[in-house]
Amino acid sequence: MVNLAARRVFGFALPARRPVSGQRRWVDGASIVLYIQRASDELLNVEEGSLYPALHRMEQSGWVRSDWALTETNRKAKYYKLTPAGRKELEQAEKSFEQLVKGIRAIFRYA
């Protein structure tokens, strides 16, 4: 669940606290956590202890890349950006999830 939520976050144009290389889609982990909470109306609460290992696995898979930069408060933070392979994985995950929801709805119609 956390992996899917994290991948979905990178599909949106989130303004980073401080863009890296002039691009807006670089996002730090703390911003991802806040975004997930706000976008889900506080229904999803991703702990940073779950998010960072997921981001690391995503980076190892080539779905995100990362870079270090300073936040607005001059704290060093790692920023992440979805790669083309990550975009493809995101699209596949969304299709898979839509199929799952479609199947569950079909089951509920006959309940």
What is the tens place of the pLDDT at every residue in 83-106?
Answer: 999 999 999 999 999 999 999 999
Cβ(7)–Cβ(94) under 8 Å? Answer: no
Helix boundaries (H) for 1-111 = 2-9, 29-39, 48-60, 84-109
Where in the chain are the domains? 2-109
Cα–Cα distance, 81 to 6 (Å, whole number): 11
Model-level pTM? Answer: 0.70
| Over residues 10-15, mean pLDDT | 43
Q: Could you tell me which CATH number the domain at 2-109 has?
A: 1.10.10.10
Own/partner contacts of 18-22, CB < 8 Å, gap of 24 or more, are 18/69, 18/70, 18/71, 18/72, 20/67, 20/69, 20/79, 20/81, 21/67
| Over residues 50-55, mean pLDDT | 95
Per-residue pLDDT for 31 more than 60?
yes
Cα-flanking dihedrals φ and ψ of residue 63, to 5°? -85, -25
